Copies of this chain bind each other. A is one copy, B any other.
Amino acid sequence: MERNQTLNTIFDRASYRGRYKDEPVPREDMKLILKAGLAAPSGCNRQTTSLVAVDEPALLEEIRRIFPKPSCQTAPALILVFTQKIASIDGRFYHVQDYGAAIENMLLAMKSLGYDTCWYEGNVRSCANELAALMGAPEETELVCVLPVGKAAEELHRVSKKAFEERAWFNGYGR
Measured CB to CB, the residues of A under 8 A from B are 1, 3-7, 9-11, 13, 15, 26-32, 34-41, 43-45, 47, 49-56, 59, 82, 88-90, 92, 94, 96-101, 103-105, 107-109, 111-113, 119, 121-122, 125, 132, 135-138, 141, 159, 161-162, 164, 167-175
B55/A173 in contact, CB under 8 A: no
Q: Which one of B15, B38, B88 lies within 8 Å of A164 (CB-CB)? A: B38
Give Cα A68 to B159, complex, Å: 39
Given A52-B173, A168-B34; A41-B7 close (CB under 8 Å):
no
B41/A15 in contact, CB under 8 A: yes
A33 to chain B, nearest CB (A): 9
Q: Which one of B26, B32, B105, B136 lies within 8 Å of A174 (CB-CB)? A: B136
Give Cα A47 to B174, complex, Å: 15
Give Cα A116 to B5, complex, Å: 18
In the complex formed, the residue of B with least CB distance to A6 is: B112
B112/A7 in contact, CB under 8 A: yes
30 contacts between A and B (CB under 8 A): A1-B29, A4-B112, A6-B9, A6-B109, A7-B36, A13-B39, A34-B168, A35-B168, A40-B104, A45-B159, A47-B167, A49-B167, A50-B167, A50-B168, A51-B167, A52-B172, A53-B168, A54-B171, A88-B122, A89-B122, A90-B122, A92-B122, A94-B121, A98-B100, A99-B100, A100-B100, A100-B101, A101-B103, A104-B105, A135-B172
